Amino acid sequence: MRTLVSLELYKLRTTPAAWVSLAVTLVLGTASVASNALVPSPGGPAFGSTDHVNHTLSVSALTSMVMLAVGVLIVAGEYRNRTIMQTFLAEPRRVRVLAAKAGTALGLGAILGAATFGIAYAEAVMIYGARGVHSLPVDVAQLWVGATVATALYGLVGVALGALTRNTVAAIIGAIAWVMVIEVGILGSVVPDVAHWLPAGAAIALTSVGTAAQGALSPTAAALVLTGWALLISGVAARFSLTREAH
């Protein structure tokens, strides 16, 4: 298994899209922290308040979507480039291949989520400190762990969607549309009590404090719900991808 994971990491290191995703995450992550902290929002929360700091540190939405795309690329990219047969010839036990890809996505997602939040937190401390706010009124540990867990699990979901669709573009666009349009945009407004139990609702609860977390699941419940969804989608993906012909 260690060899398979090493091969997955090597494939990512030689994939330009992976490096582009990392660069986009770092650039947009640091830019969003500065923008959210310094650009006043009409009628928005007061500078340095819990809601304001929560908004400033909300980089997990970015890292989760990026890792979702990377997870899709880990599997669907091989079908697109027609290298999946070579992978299965090297390791005929497909379940081990999928497990290695899932483990790679989980590990990279955890690192990306934790590192990006750490950078965002350091940047926020400097920005708020320069304006006289020397103690951020949020549970930093909760947000940090939440960003790490959410990003890792979205990477796992990405692998599952890539295995199900085998189509990079369709999986990424479909997943982002589901999260941003259907879950957050529609269900979050129409049936919020239902939306809380869906993947995006659980991720928001896991990575939010203050007003944004009111009415949402507790962090522990949100982590369990998001984990359940990730495992369910992964189970469905494994069930179908392991029996379908690879080509």
Rg (CA), the chain: 19
The CA distance from 201 to 226, in Å, is 9
Domain coordinates in residue numbering, the chain: 2-241
- Measured at the CA of 154, the angle between CA 152 and CA 157, to 5 degrees, comes to 120
pLDDT higher than threshold 80 for residue 219: yes
Query: Is the CB of residue 162 less than 8 Å from the CB of residue 74?
Result: yes
119-129 pLDDT, tens digit each: 999 999 999 99
Q: What is the pLDDT of residue 244?
A: 66
Query: Is the CB of residue 94 less than 8 Å from the CB of residue 201?
Result: no
Residue 81's contacts (CB-CB under 8 Å, 6 or more residues apart) are none
pTM of the model: 0.91
Tell whether the torsion through CA atoms of 63, 64, 67 and 68 is positive or negative: negative
58-107 pLDDT, tens digit each: 999 999 999 999 999 998 888 777 777 777 767 777 788 888 899 999 99
pLDDT higher than threshold 60 for residue 247: no
Query: If pLDDT is split at 50, 70 and 90, which confidence band does 44 have?
Result: confident
Query: Among residues 224, 187, 182, 180, which one has the least CA distance to residue 202?
Result: 224
Q: What is the pLDDT of residue 89?
A: 67
Backbone angles phi, psi at 27, to 5 degrees: -65, -50
Give percent of the chain above pLDDT 70. Answer: 97
Q: How far is CA 66 from CA 21, 172, 176, in A?
A: 6, 10, 10
142-176 pLDDT, tens digit each: 999 999 999 999 999 999 999 888 888 888 898 88
Residue 234's contacts (CB-CB under 8 Å, 6 or more residues apart) are 102, 156, 157, 159, 160
Backbone angles phi, psi at 131, to 5 degrees: -110, 20
